[in-house]
Amino acid sequence: MPEYRKKQMNSALKLTALFLFLYGLVTQQVLANTWIRRLDEWIYERDFLLITPGKTPTLVMLVDDLGLRSITAIFLLITAIIISRRFKSWRPINLSILSLLLLNIIVGVSKLLFGRTKPSSGFDLVFTDSGLSYPSGHAANAVLTWGMMAYLIFRYSHKEPFEGMRLTWFVAIVTVGVCLASLYRNTHWFSDLLGGLFIGSALLVLIIAIDRSITSNRQPS
Instruction: Give per-residue pLDDT as tens, 48-89.
Output: 555 555 566 778 888 888 888 889 999 999 999 999 998 888
Decide if 192 contacts 9 (C-beta within 8 A).
Answer: no
The DSSP line for 154-206 is HHHTT--HHHHHHHHHHHHHHHHHHHHHHHHTTSS-HHHHHHHHHHHHHHHHH
pTM above 0.75, yes or no: yes
Domain ranges of the chain: 3-213
How far is the first Cα of the chain from the last one, in angstroms, to the nearest whole number? 12
Torsion angle in degrees (nearest 10) through CA of 48, 22, 66, 165: 120
Decide if 142 contacts 174 (C-beta within 8 A).
Answer: yes
Q: What is the pLDDT of residue 50?
A: 58
